[in-house]
């Protein structure tokens, strides 16, 4: 099963769970890129947790196509404790 990808921030980590959602929906990253109108490279940056930001319009498009909520795609883990 795919693992969550995370991005380190000050005091916490944002986890990108795109791999899990794609796996559950039996969809490829290429298919999602075509459906939301993003390049495969940009979507791959998000999937691997290397993105520093995400536009709301991108988040909306991904959530629409994967039929999910933003919280299904992103998570936060406090690493200061």
CATH (domain of 40): 1.10.260.40
Domain that holds residue 26: 5-78
**pLDDT tens digits along 47-76:** 998 999 999 999 999 999 999 999 999 999
User: Based on the structure, what is the number of domains in the chain?
Assistant: 1
Nearest to 74 by CA among 11, 27, 12, 10: 12
Question: Which pLDDT value is given to residue 8?
Answer: 55
Question: Which pLDDT value is given to residue 79?
Answer: 82
Q: Quote the tokens at residue 30.
A: 């290429």
pTM beyond cutoff 0.95: no
Angle 29-36/56-66 helices, nearest 10 degrees?
A: 120
């Amino acid at each position: 099963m795919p693992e969550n990808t995370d991005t380190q921030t000050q005091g916490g980590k944002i986890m990108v769970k795109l791999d899990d959602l794609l796996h559950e929906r039996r969809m490829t990253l290429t298919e999602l890129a075509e459906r939301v109108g993003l390049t495969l490279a940009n979507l791959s940056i998000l999937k691997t947790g290397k993105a520093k930001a995400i536009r709301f319009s991108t988040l909306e498009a991904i959530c629409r196509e994967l039929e999910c909520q933003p919280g299904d795609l992103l998570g936060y883990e406090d690493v200061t404790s």
